[in-house]
Amino acid sequence: MDLALFDFDGTLTTMETYPAFVRASVTPDRLRGRWRLAPYVAGYRMGLVSGTRVREIVTRHAYAGAEPARVDAAGEAFARDVLPGLLRADMLARVEAHRAHGDRVIVVSGAFDVYLAPWCRTHGIEVLCSSLERVDGVLTGRYAGAQCVLDEKVRRVREACDLAGAARITAYGDTPEDRPMLALAHERWYRGERIA
Distance CA 185, CA 108 (A): 13
Taking residues 15-35, what's their average pLDDT?
A: 84
Distance CA 195, CA 12 (A): 18
- pLDDT tens-digit profile of 85-102? 999 999 999 999 999 999
| Superfamily of the domain at 3-194 | HAD superfamily/HAD-like (3.40.50.1000)
pLDDT > 70 fraction of the chain, expressed in percent and rounded? 97
Examine the pLDDT at 35 and tell me if it is beyond 90.
Answer: no
pTM for the complete prediction? 0.92
Cβ neighbours of residue 74 closer than 8 Å, sequence gap 6 or more: 21, 24, 25, 114, 115
139 strand-pairing partners? 134
Taking residues 153-175, what's their average pLDDT?
A: 96
Distance CA 162, CA 88 (A): 29
Single-letter amino acid, residue 142:
R
Examine the pLDDT at 112 and tell me if it is beyond 90.
Answer: yes
Examine the pLDDT at 109 and tell me if it is beyond 80.
Answer: yes
Indicate the domain borders of the chain.
3-194
Which H or E element spans position 58?
Answer: helix 51-63
106 strand-pairing partners? 5, 126
- Full DSSP string of 85-126: GGB-HHHHHHHHHHHHTT-EEEEEEEEEHHHHHHHHHHHT-E
3-state secondary structure of 162: coil
Examine the pLDDT at 29 and tell me if it is beyond 90.
Answer: no
